[in-house]
Structure 1
Amino acid sequence: MVLTVDDDPAVGRAVARDLRRRYGDTHRVVRADSGPAALQALEELTVRGERTALLLADHRMPGMTGVDFLEHAMDLVPGARRVLLTAYADTDAAIRAINDVDLDHYLLKPWDPPEEKLYPVLDDLLAGWAATALPSFDGLTLVGHQWSPRTQEAKEFLARNAVPYRHVDVRSDDAARLLAAAHLEAGPEQLPVAFLPDGGVLTAARPRQIAERVGLATTAGRPFYDLVVVGGGPAGLGAAVYGASEGLRTLLVERSATGGQAGQSSRIENYLGFPHGVSGAELAQRARDQAVRFGVEIVTTADCVGVTPRGDGREVRFDDGGSVASHAVVLATGVSYRRLTAPGLAGLTGRGVYYGAAAHEAVNCTGQTVHVVGAANSAGQAALFFAGLADRVVLIARGDSLRRSMSEYLVARIEASENIEVRTCTEIAGARGGERLEALCLRDQRTGTTEVAEAGWLFVFIGAAPRTDWLGGAFVRDERGFLVTGPDLVDRAGRPPAGWPLGRDPYLLECSVPGVFAAGDVRAASIKRVASAVGEGALAVSLVHRYLEGL
């Protein structure tokens, strides 16, 4: 539903007319002539189950201004996009409303022609809403134990690949009815059970099985490509989009879900072009859609086990025994969060201990205490995200100040938050729990003293470990496993690395194997930011072209 509010009948009709002309086939357009009337309509329609995608309110209305209406409406439909209609004289009020009511956009009246001044703005806002809104449920039902790592693995895979699903705890009456109807027992070896929209049932469901049944490609569609991109994070998506848009037959290979580590971020606020921030999941979905539009073939749940030269081409091998060949390869496998090694934590992974934001579990944290470990931007964003749900968030950092590694705008917001407690010079010394996490042992590094704190949720954002162990010895890495590229491969005497077969030095992002390029976090000395990763992905494609011209 799209709801528009304006006390001027002529303007109200004009707004509704333009909206119906563009969006009438997909959205119900509702018109109100005052803020109170709009709130009443919004309440009634929300109770009836209608979902509100967009609110457009005129600013100058008697009794209740547009800003006041949008502020009240936030409580009813917090996910709706908010637009203020205003005259030039009220621009200052509109700018203030960006912070006061989290305004998404303001439009100056008149907006003729709507094809230039109205529809492009609303198209983008509605697309953003659709990417994050909970769909009317007609998807997969997953029956499993809330504190089972295998159930958590399936839930994370479904959530990160934007597959509509609902989780039903195996101990519930709903689960009993579903399992009885399918003539299944609830034994641990059969969980999780996936009930598919087409009526099919998967027992002991794993991500690859689920992917095959819900329509995600798990194998490549052809034997040869111009470009194979390994890794679907910002760098990989950037390379795939630019490669395909420039005419290269492009395959993107991803182990789990597009977006990489950035896709697990609850909010990215310093990425160019998103003044209000964007969730990692939404950014990843937008980039994936863009890649598909340009013709990129995307394969998921595919694990690469090797890249080797084959004449002028490069062969990429998979763990299922398959392989594809290509002219060039871009390695954009990113990094993973380092695992905590304190006693008791390993056995609680997926049972209260999570690496990354685990957004699919966020709603279960409502009203509870959440512990977050880390001192970089990802940890700061997670702390702020959970602070909107939990009663209390404890942010644990080993350093003596968040400002050493976290952006100032995040530090300021954390310090201003009433329910975020920052514990610096503190580390996790241990954990305990039965079915799930129950307590953490916290050590103060200054005094050496420890304390035991009740804890049910721990989200970890520490360090960065590249996944490059699957690459052979021909690839030069630094002491931490990051790929060395370009000029860094050339020694002080100007000699390329041993085994380099070409008469030129490696190109800027080229690895020690010609025709294989590294982009993003997996590359040694890279800047660990989303924007730089996307830029390196694009740059890698330009270097691929240069490499192909020399063949």
Structure 2
Amino acid sequence: MIDRRAAKPVLLTVDDDPGVSRAVARDLRRRYGEDFRIVRADSGRDALDALKELKLRGEPVAAMLADYRMPEMTGIDFLEQAMDLFPRARRALLTAYADTDAAIQAINVVDVDHYLLKPWDPPEEKLYPVVDALIEMWRATGESPVDEVKVVGHRWSAPSFAAREFLARNTVPYRWFSVDEPEGQRLLSAAGATPDDIPVVITPDGRVLRTPSEVELAGAVGLSTAPSADFYDLIVIGAGPAGLGAAVYGASEGLRTVLVEREATGGQAGQSSRIENYLGFPDGVSGSQLTDRARRQAVKFGTEVLAARDVVALEARGSARVVRFGDGTEVAAHAVILATGVAYRTLDADGSDRLTGRGVYYGSANTEAPSCAGQAVYVVGGANSAGQAAVFFSRHARSVTILVRGESLKRSMSHYLIEQIEAIDTIAVRPNTIVDEVVGDDHLVRLRLRDRLTDAVDEVESNHLFVFIGARPHTDWLDGVVERDPLGFVRTGPDLLVSGERPAGWTLDRDPYYLESSLPGVFVAGDVRSESVKRVAAAVGEGAMAVTLVHRYLEDQ
């Protein structure tokens, strides 16, 4: 029996060209041979057989490099099947220059980390930096056996869905068991629970939680929910791209920083199946992958992250800025950055509230992807988030229909995404369409659709409706504390000056800084800011810029 602690992690390469296969194995062995075992295969089928042996023998696989164009099984097909065996192994695609465009499009099928152009001479410049990055990502996620959380629930239970989404978005490994299956029933019996208690969550140490709140669930799976101190240099509220950007720059520049998030890091961007127009990722990056890297980066620099904490109030006490949580506890700092982003608007259709989490979902709800297999899926919305979701679900569903109020997607969706959608046969766009009613008893079974121009009504059968219909800021808790525009977005900087006059109650002998709110020392970044650019890159930039202004503010004190 192999001692897993002594086994070297594997770097696997597969290429049907013997010369290329030997060359990449040689270059990998030269650089990584002391710490890794290099395994090469001449076909996707041989590589899968090798992976199955490694799985049975308990050997970890760190990274896989697969040629894009191979007979019988392409590199994409191989990586897709290999992920079932080693989901935490990192993945790269080897491609010739002539195949670059096709490879980049195909990468959307599998969450590939990098692609490499052949030839890669010199390897010190073109091969090793990529493999170094793959190994670093693999080490960050770990390949040792994972103690999984068990979740027992029902497919059409909204609380069960909420628990799964919370764990998935916070990158907590879990295994799902349905109460309709024998193993789920056995777990309920062992836990002394009944189907009325779902979701039932069982932690690796055997602790049982019945219908837990998010705070209870977060604490049980090891997420931090309580601050370690009473006072910080900087509190960042909201862990979307803007908040993560602020946390990275704040902590890296020496500010004792705490990042507070109500649900999960990433915000709306974290739910995106693929972001393809973010600088530096030519082959795209999933929202969860981007935000997970940002979270790990923030933690590496010393940011303290608090999960499942609902902020309900903000006030000034002398030079301190105090944040109060829903449970009555509070934390204070010299400065605060508001990066609370926006939330999807709810669907104005009969039955939608009752069936939310039971067939009606806001955002991508990627945990539902397997249950969409062979189904007719409907997506409401015409912006990029809706288009990205449609492309993602098209890999699983029999058909995907995008329902748009307007004449077309051209006014609200990026051109590259429209081209992708037009190239996928299983995606249809239905313009001038409104959802009047969602129908079902315990779950969604049918949609009642109305043509906005003709008022013609028809009904379609579906169990899955994903809604992306604009967004609103969650800022009611700031009423009377900072100035907001009529839509609830927070005004900052020059927008606070009326006829050259500073906002009422402003006490400092200077104008508000560009991202500063009407309360000195409270800054705003990202989508929640009035007149902001609603893009991931802009949000990250504003988060970094807000930290610079925080330093300037602290120097003034």
- Confirm or deny a common fold (TM above 0.5): yes
Q: Which residue of 2 aligns with 1:510?
A: 516
Counterpart check, 1:7 vs 2:15: no
Task: Map residues 149-168 of structure 1 onto 2, 5 A cutoff.
Answer: 149-168=158-177
Q: Secondary structure at the match of 1:82?
A: strand
SS of residue matched to 2:490: coil
| Match of residue 5 from structure 2 | none
Matched, 1:300 2:310: no
SS in 1 for 2:494: helix
CA distance in 2, matches of 1:97, 1:228: 45
1:529 aligned residue: 535
Equivalent pair of 1:170/1:186 in contact (CA under 8 Å): no
Indicate if the aligned counterparts of 1:306 and 1:472 stay in contact, CA closer than 8 A: no
- Report whether the alignment pairs 1:82 with 2:86: no
- Name 1:253's counterpart in structure 2: 260
Aligned pair in 2 of structure 1 residues 186, 29: CA closer, same or farther (>3 Å)? farther
Shift of 1:138: 2.7
- Of stretches 503-512 and 130-139 in structure 1, the one that deviates more from structure 2 is 130-139
**Structure 2 counterpart SS, 1:197:** coil
Superimposed CA distance per residue, residues 249-288 of structure 1 (whole angstroms, 9 cap, x where no aligned partner): 1010000111011101111110001111111111110000
Deviation at 1:77, TM superposition (A): 3.0
The counterpart of 1:98, out of the listed 80, 103, 111, is 103
Distance in 2 between the 1:328 and 1:318 partners? 17
The residue number in structure 1 matching 2:237 is 230
Q: Which moved more, 1:439-448 or 1:166-175?
A: 166-175
Question: Cα gap change, 1:126/1:353 in structure 2, threshold over 3 Å: closer, same or farther?
Answer: farther
Matches of 2:427 and 2:179 in 1, distance apart? Answer: 34
Report sequence identity in percent.
Answer: 52
Q: Which amino acid aligns with 1:11?
A: A
Q: How does 1:75-154 map onto structure 2 within 5 Å?
A: 76-77=81-82, 81-84=91-94, 92-93=97-98, 95-96=100-101, 98-99=103-104, 102=107, 104-107=114-117, 111=121, 114=124, 117-126=126-135, 138-154=147-163
Flag the 1:111–1:149 CA change in 2: closer, same or farther, 3 A: same
Change (3 A) 1:290 1:514: same
Please, which runs of 5 or more residues in structure 1 have no aligned partner?
86-90
CA contact (8 A) 1:131 1:282 kept: no
Supply the distance in 2 between the matched residues of 1:214 and 1:332 (Cα, whole angstroms). 25
CA distance in 2 between counterparts of 1:234 and 1:100 reads 25
Asked whether the 8 Å contact 1:366–1:391 carries over to 2, the reply is: yes
**2:556 paired residue number:** 550
What secondary structure, in the 3-state scheme, does the structure 2 residue paired with 1:235 have? helix
SS state at 1:404 partner? coil
Could you tell me which residue of structure 2 aligns to residue 474 of structure 1?
A: 481
CA offsets 1:273-305 (integer angstroms, 9 cap, x no match) = 111111111111000000000000000111111
Q: Hey, what's the Cα distance between the residues in 2 that align with 1:356 and 1:527? A: 20
Q: CA deviation at 1:476?
A: 0.7
**1:262/1:55 CA distance change after superposition, 3 Å:** same
Alpha-carbon shift at residue 67 of structure 1 (Å) = 11
Q: Shift of the alpha carbon at 1:43?
A: 3.5
User: Given the superposition, is the C-alpha separation of residues 54 and 113 from structure 1 closer, same or farther in structure 2, using an over 3 Å criterion?
Assistant: closer
Query: Is 2:78 the counterpart of 1:73?
Result: yes
TM-score of the superposed pair, with normalisation by structure 2: 0.89
- Which one-letter code corresponds to 1:385 in the other structure? F
- Quote the Cα distance in structure 2 between the aligned partners of 1:276 and 1:134: 25
CA displacement at 1:216 relative to structure 2 = 0.8
Distance 1:495 1:185 in 2: 63
- The answer to which of 66-75 and 159-168 deviates more is 66-75
Q: Structure 1's 130 and 160: CA in aligned 2 closer, same or farther, altered over 3 A?
A: farther
Aligned length: 532
Q: Give the SS at the match of 1:520.
A: coil
The 5 Å alignment of 1:150-189 reads 150-182=159-191, 184-188=192-196
Match of 1:519 in 2: 525
Distance 1:108 1:368, change over 3 A: closer
Secondary structure of the corresponding residue to residue 270 of structure 1: coil
Aligned-residue CA RMSD (Å): 2.6
Distance 1:82 1:66 in 2: 18
Q: 1:470 to 1:272 in 2, by over 3 A?
A: same
Compared CA separation, residues 406 and 129, structure 1 to 2 (3 A) = farther
Aligned runs of 1:379-458 on 2, under 5 Å?
379-458=386-465
> Pairwise mapping of residues 37-56 of structure 1 onto structure 2 (< 5 A)?
39-43=45-49, 45-46=51-52, 49=55, 54-56=63-65
Kept in 2, the 8 Å contact 1:241–1:290? The answer is yes
The one-letter code sitting in structure 2 at the alignment partner of 1:164 is: P
- Give the distance between the partners of 1:346 and 1:130, measured in 2 at CA: 42
Runs ≥4 residues deviating over 6 A: 129-135
- Matched residue SS, 2:267: coil
